[in-house]
A and B are shown apart, each in its own frame.
Chain A
Amino acid sequence: MTTVYDKYEPVIGLEVHAQMKTRTKAFCGCSTDFHASPNSNVCPVCLGHPGVLPVLNLELVDYAIKMGLATKCSIAENTLFARKNYFYPDLSKGYQITQFETPLCSGGHVSIRIKDKSIKRIGITRIHMEEDAGKSIHDFSDDDTLVDFNRCGVPLIEIVSEPDINSSDEAHRYLYKIRQILVYLGINDGNLEEGSMRCDANISVRRKGDERLGTRTEIKNLNSFKNVVDAIEAEIKRQVDLLESGEKVSYHTMTYNAKDKTTSHTRSKEEAHDYRYFPEPDLVRLYVGKQQIDNVSSELPEPPDERSERFIREYGLTDAEAEEITSEKPLADYFEGITEALINKDTKTFKVSANIFRVDVKRVLNEEKIEINKFQLSPKVVAKLADSVSEGKISASASREVFAELLGTIDEEQQINKFAELENKYMQVSGESEIEEIVMRVLSENEDEVDRYKRGEKKLAGFFVGKIMQASKGKANPKIVNELLIKNLELNQQ
């Protein structure tokens, strides 16, 4: 059933501000440590005292280039900084140092997999460097606001997408991808809720088939994936409703109200802002040469998409397995720590490794709420376990127990020793003659059941298996047990 909303196509562009994980601020040597007490990571420069001057952080430039390269942007050979002038208590100089006419990176893209599983490219118009403002605390009292300047001057990159996004779902996927790349590169911690990543959405709608763009509105400061999706949905609806009732959409900056899921005009006079951009006279031109780009490029980790594809090719993983394991770089690194240490580098063992990783390792991470870098088992030990299972030495079910028992041990060497012990303990008996002996004994001890089986109660196979496993203390290789059981039961039939 089509609704009126289906007549319209949403056109969305997202602007992401990401704090860079440099040790110091963009233009002064104050620490960017987020856990400091208020107004303690400040100096005359970031407080905008009379007479101070900015000096650009080398690392910020490298980080911005990294993001540019990772999103296939061209890196500008020569750029300037600019001043964006406006008054606000948390903006200590009364202007923000940013890049206006000359962004460092431009013309890139990311690929997202959309609902129908096809790949869609979302263009990146530009990425530029700038500084963050301080934090205002509005709920202190009715009359006053408190200001903390620790965040003032923290480096940001602003990533502006082309208006290539056409639904809230695509927006979600795009944002997820940008976040993934930022975290992969190690330049941002991907924490939307804490504000280290912030998103503004530019939204307009047009009738399907129409080439002209509608008038856009801008929703600022969306601080969770859910809010991004809901806000976009709410605004699309609002705009379509307006147009359908014969009215026009006019440009406004908006805010999203999570409580009632609506968007409304911000009451501040944002529209009246004339930022009076001009080149920052206290900073000099930045030239980025091929050598620097090559250096940064050589430090880039393999991008998540490419790594996922490689895992599918090299390790025979499924799309879902590869995507899950490569969703975060530390996870993918750990997994390759396992594969590298494997003796049996074949698809079977890779798949076993993936299974142990996704089931056992991930369970511990979830239950203990830790990151992989705090997970105590060395990937070398996990590799040994995977090899063992793949070679049939330990059964799949036994492997769960071995894993659990390994968890108590901390040191890698001790873990390897412990594993050797456990392997012995849980070693499957796979020798055919050994197993056959047990099979025959069990069958001879349970003649009544054998008779019943022969007369049609095939379900009793399970009963025999149980007895055999019991007799072998769980060590008999189930596959071989089954084969020999059937063989002997059929035999007896004669």
Chain B
Amino acid sequence: MTASIPSGLISIRQQLNEGTLNCRDLVIHYLENIEAQKDLNVFIEVFAEEALKNAEEIDVKIKEGKAGKLAGAVISIKDVIAIKDKGLTCSSAILKGFTSLYDSTVVARLKAEDAIIIGRVNCDEFAMGSSNENSVYGAVRNPYDKSRVPGGSSGASAVSVAANMCLASLGSETGGSIRQPASLCGVTGLKATYGRISRYGLVAFASSFDSIGIFAKHNSDIAAVLDVIGGHDEKDSTSSEHPKGNYLSDSSEEFDPSKVKIGYAKEYFGEGLNEEVEEGVLAKIEKLRSKGFSVNEISLPHSKYLIQAYYVLTCAEASSNLSRYDGVRYGHRAKDYEALEDMYVKTRTEGFGREVKRRVMLGTYVLSAGYYDAYYRKAQKVRRLIRQDFENAFEEVDFIVSPTTPTTAFRIGEKIEDPLAMYLSDIYTVSANLAGIPAMSVPAGKDVSGLPFGIQIIGKKFDEGGLLKLWNSIA
């Protein structure tokens, strides 16, 4: 095992510039950690050779003073984000053997700034799940307790950072898939505003919810990555032209508490919230108060309808987005079939896992003839009300805090038979996806068994800088 490396990109970069560290050794360090913890089942593919080669090239660039903004950053990528000439499976049998023909915009931007991409990591199939158990590669394990889940769907991304297999990871969110695993694995996870980061190359689950997000231990690392990958992309019609913030400087500053108002939604502190988690979150709130922040109760009145609206809309969009997996142009095709119809049915039945099939069925149902108004249109109206709740709340406060997850990590296999129970565990996180606003999970403590949990901060649209700044007062 190589000597320990400094924590955070700023320190790493300092040592790289001084010459006391080089990228090659950095990569070797991470590769060793990856190898030593294979039983966590995090990586689908490790790009060992390439990463080493890149490292050498970047070491030269650093000496020449030509290195990019992310030189020294080693990053893992959730296997729903396209990397040119690499496999892209979304942890699904239906995409086994598929090679992407293009780089997603985020990966292209990372490469352009000399980040080193160390490998593709596991996830719930097609990002559908909250435990990283729904994967063709098998369940991922929580490094704090290997019998437990890391959360999902970006579970492996969270673990890769928590277990020091890389500096940061790109994951994705549709209903909390960044923040929830960040909470259960004791790292920070940011979901940016919808449209802040390009979706081009992110395999679609629910197009109007999907966001790419960032895991890291330090807010400055998240800031550095966001600064590079964020911003308008003409390949994504839904990407925003809203100007980027000064994320790096925000992440190094602290708020003047008298200038910031924080709220907590009373609807989020109630039944189903684990006592230790509640205590821990409330303790963080006290910490904020003791620093001089005002933290007051606010209301998000439509909170009891979040899960319903979320599931109708995301399953509907997913059922359509997953129609392209039909065995015609790429991916799995069944071996024996009689004719076209049979080929379609066998391919998709074999290729998709249970959770994916369940959501596709639900989505197909709510869009089917006669039900569009009853479900889809209705849920879109509820979505507007939920967004209104936040707009109203943000007239009074600048940030909203809440628990990220109602419990700490549950055991592998515990929830998988009861889909509704699984869905309900998304209750604190889906609101930000419905409203399209940024949210971040920050480590808040550990329960008596040493299992981590997080506190969530939700911000106004495009105020990722604010979240990164507030992190300094909470973490």
Contact = CB atoms under 8 A, between A and B. Distances in A.
Is there a direct interface between A and B, measured as CB atoms under 8 Å apart in the complex?
Answer: yes
Interface of A: 44, 47-56, 83, 85, 87, 89, 92-95, 145, 147, 149, 274, 276-278, 281-284
Nearest to A145: B340
B237 A54 contact: yes
B324 A94 contact: yes
A83 B367 CA distance: 11
Given A50-B324, A85-B367, A278 B238 contact: no
Contacts of A284: 237-238
B45 to A, nearest CB: 16
Interface string B116-148: 000000000000000000000000000000000
A278 B88 contact: no
- 9 closest Cβ contacts across the A-B interface? A94-B323, A276-B367, A281-B207, A281-B208, A50-B203, A48-B324, A51-B201, A274-B369, A51-B203
Contacts of A83: 320
B199 to A, nearest CB: 6
Given A85-B367, A93-B324, A50 B235 contact: no
Contact-size category for B? 35 or more
Given A51-B81, A87-B344, A278-B376, A94 B326 contact: yes
A282 B207 contact: yes
Contacts of B330: 49
Given A50-B88, A52-B200, A54-B237, A93 B372 contact: no
Contacts, number: 100
Contacts of B322: 94
Contact of A51 (B204, B238, B323): B204
B317 A281 contact: yes
A49 B208 CA distance: 18
B255 interface: no
Nearest to B328: A89
A449 B109 CA distance: 102
Interface in B200-256: 200-204, 206-208, 234-238
B362 to A, nearest CB: 13
Contacts of B344: 87
Interface in B286-343: 316-317, 319-320, 322-324, 326, 328-330, 340
Contacts of B200: 51-53
Contacts of B329: 47-49, 92, 149
B372 A278 contact: yes
29 contacts: A47-B329, A48-B329, A49-B101, A49-B324, A49-B330, A50-B82, A50-B100, A50-B203, A51-B100, A51-B199, A51-B204, A53-B236, A53-B238, A54-B237, A85-B367, A89-B328, A89-B340, A92-B328, A93-B323, A94-B322, A94-B324, A149-B329, A274-B369, A278-B367, A278-B372, A282-B204, A282-B207, A283-B238, A284-B237
Contacts of A147: 328
Nearest to A86: B323
Contacts of A85: 320, 323, 367
A471 B322 CA distance: 89
A95 B323 contact: yes
B349 interface: no
Nearest to A273: B369
Given A49-B330, A274-B368, 9 more contacts: A50-B100, A50-B324, A51-B81, A93-B323, A95-B323, A274-B369, A278-B316, A278-B367, A281-B317
Contacts of A50: 82, 88, 90, 95, 98, 100, 203-204, 324
Nearest to B322: A94
A55 B234 contact: yes
B402 interface: no
B364 interface: yes
Given A50-B203, A282-B237, A87 B369 contact: no
Contacts of B340: 89, 145
B104 interface: yes
A21 B176 CA distance: 44
A282 B206 CA distance: 10
A251 to B, nearest CB: 15
Contacts of B81: 51
A283 B237 contact: yes
Nearest to B233: A53
Nearest to A275: B369
Given A44-B102, A147-B328, A276 B320 contact: yes
A51 B90 CA distance: 11
A278 B323 contact: no
A240 to B, nearest CB: 32
A153 to B, nearest CB: 13
A249 to B, nearest CB: 23
Contacts of A54: 237
Contacts of A56: 237
A89 B369 CA distance: 23
A274 B369 CA distance: 6
Contacts of B206: 281
A264 B104 CA distance: 48
B368 A276 contact: yes
B201 to A, nearest CB: 4
Nearest to B371: A276
A276 B328 CA distance: 22
Contacts of B80: 51
Contacts of A276: 319-320, 364, 367-369, 372
Contacts of B100: 49-51
B3 to A, nearest CB: 39
B206 to A, nearest CB: 8
Contacts of B208: 281
Nearest to A282: B207
Interface in B57-113: 80-82, 88, 90, 95, 98, 100-102, 104
